[in-house]
Amino acid sequence: MKLIRFAPSISLIGLAFCAASLCAAPQQVSMHNDPHRTHAPADKAGVGQPPEDDAAMLLIPEELRPEIPCEVLRLETGPNRAGVQMNTWADGIVPYVFNANVSSQNQTRTLAAMAEIEAVTSVNFIPRTSESDYIVMNSSTVNNSFVGRITGPQNVNIFNWATRFIIVHELMHALGFEHEHQRADRNSYVDVNFDNICCSAEFNFFIASGITDFGAYDFDSVMHYGQYDFTNGSPCCGPEDRTITVLAPNEAMQTVIGQRDHLSTGDIEALQALYEGTPTPLPFFEDFESGTFDPARWTGIDSATVSLDGLNPPSGTHSVNLAGSSQGGQKIRTGVMNTQGAGSVIVSYAYQRTGGGNSPEASEDLVVEYRDANGSWIEFARHLGSDVDMTTFATNEVTLNGAALHDGFRVRFRAISGNIAQDDWYVDDISVATPIANNNCLFASQVFAGNTPITTTLATTTGPTELCGDLNNDAWYFFVTPCDGTLDISVCDATFNAQLAVYGVSCPGGSGTALACSDDTCGVGPAVSLAVSSGQLYRIRVGSSDGSTGLATLSVNCSIDTEPCPADCAPDNGDGTYGNGDVNIDDIVAVINSFGDPGGPCDVSPDNGDGTYGNGSINIDDLVAVINGFGACP
């Protein structure tokens, strides 16, 4: 539905309206205007100048535009600038800076506008550090922006700071979106009345070239102009002054076009198509021990840092520090996760007030929220700044359902404080998981050789008691052996007290029927080994001794057993092993040279039947065994 530009071009889009008396000859500059610029009358604020009080800027309804003189920029009408490639932002990461002329209040408004886009897509606006390409938020007398990423810094100019979705509109341009009414198919839906358009603004209504239309025509798009935008009607406004007329049978959309109060469904779908990103897989666990935020797992890192200042963190040495900021508090947000179809989702985390930092006070709280399908942030936990300082981390686990179950789920942690780098909170060991489907032997999940992340979160106990323990809250897997040899199974890095049992092809009918069973006694992960033949199915059960659940890694490997070759007793390899894979004259010489010795590498007879060889004396039996074994080892 959106117009997504991929052609090698740059254009700078803006918002303004003009009076017929100001329609002079065009000048060649690098901007062109859009229609939502509002300002005080000339006798109070000066022609084209914003009022001193930012809060006084009210969006004048499109249908009630007064004939107030306005500054009109004469603009470049050509749709393309040769030799410059238009691009989207790699991985959806958009670095930004604020011009010094942007007040702290308007910076906060900008971040709120950015959050509207971040909430529904994988776009991540980040404060610029050293990136060469970035947007510059600038206070101006117009609203305009380049379309898409260009080389180096690019201005996003804002006049109407008080209207959040005007800022969103310009940010959408910066992300690569043209106007909805410039689509190739627009003449089937609207009539553009060029006779009513002033100020050499016609190019803002031309059908754009070099773009890709997405989805159905969207009258509700935040990228659509309103019915009187750039009208030359004076006085204004009546139907005869319209610059855009909606065609039948969609006349009811006449007063809908030009809205600036939300992202439409089509806007969201187009954003997600252009910046879909990769969903963060579940189960999700983060302990921040890398010392940095992984951009594939975290977005919207508003000044938060990975820190060593948390006291006694639950794992490792790092945790996230969330403190006050000029924007009202630092925050972090997970990437998009798909919880759709799950019965519920469990979020758990550890938190600490103050730690090795500055004490929060009343109202300087830590808030934990999830994003619902409408893009709204829903608070589900709050930790009060008025409580006592903490020297250890506390844990919190919350089960969410209903509005939390959709394909755009995210979790956000934010501190509430305007005191820069003060009022410290620390967060660690963040986990997000959905109920497992393999909480029953009959619905075991297949695993393959190697390491597989697993979870027992939300599992119940479905199997019998075994000799090594109860295996409470169990998850089930199955493995088909690819070899004749030894099957090694272990549970590593478990966040719970893991136990492990292995069964044959059939589900257990009673207690004590496991082929092998192991408990993680003394903090060592459970592990079992058993002899297997190729093509056999084994059921693997992972539970806990005390009902605890969590995340772990299940390691499964099948190794081919080599047949013994005891007669290959020479040479001495110098590393505790003997032989070279071939029984030959060297082995005969070694036996003769060691005749009468009380054992040794050439004490190879008899076969004791238990995997050992020899009788403690090298004699004629050993020489015969070597001669009989002449040739390559099996």
Taking a C-beta distance cutoff of 8 angstroms, is the pair 553, 493 a contact? yes
Cis ω for the linkage preceding 571 (within 30 of 0): yes
CA pair distance 292, 305, nearest whole angstrom? 8
3-state helix, strand, coil in the chain (%, to 5): 15, 30, 55
Q: Which two tokens stand for residue 247?
A: 């065609």
Cα 107 to the chain's mean position, in Å? 25
CA distances from 331 to 19, 324, 350, 413, 426 (A): 44, 9, 16, 6, 11
CA pair distance 284, 95, nearest whole angstrom? 26
CA distances from 515 to 136, 316, 468, 528 (A): 65, 36, 12, 10
Antiparallel, parallel or unpaired: β 472-480 and 445-446:
parallel
CA pair distance 513, 610, nearest whole angstrom? 26
Cis ω for the linkage preceding 314 (within 30 of 0): no
Taking a C-beta distance cutoff of 8 angstroms, is the pair 260, 163 a contact? yes
Known active-site residue 180: no
CA pair distance 164, 172, nearest whole angstrom? 12
CA pair distance 129, 131, nearest whole angstrom? 6
Given 118, 170, 286, 364, which residue is catalytic? 170
Label residue 186 left, alpha or beta by phi (over 0 means left) and psi (-120 to 50 means alpha).
alpha
Cα 106 to the chain's mean position, in Å? 28
Q: Which two tokens stand for residue 325?
A: 């900021």
CB atoms within 10 A of CB 599: 12
Q: Which two tokens stand for residue 123?
A: 């776009």
Angle between helices 164-175 and 265-274 (to 10 degrees): 30
Q: Which two tokens stand for residue 180?
A: 């909805």
CA distances from 524 to 275, 431, 496, 520, 597 (A): 44, 23, 12, 5, 42
CA pair distance 172, 409, nearest whole angstrom? 22
For CA atoms 464, 468, 470, 471, give the dihedral sign.
negative
Give 521's DSSP letter: G
Strand partners, 350: 395, 428
The span from the first CA to the last CA of the chain, in angstroms, equals 68
Cis ω for the linkage preceding 61 (within 30 of 0): no
What is residue 79's three-state secondary structure?
Answer: coil
SS3 for 227-277 is: CCCCECCCCCCCHHHCCEEECCCCHHHHHCCCCCCCCCHHHHHHHHHHCCC
Residues serving a catalytic function are: 170
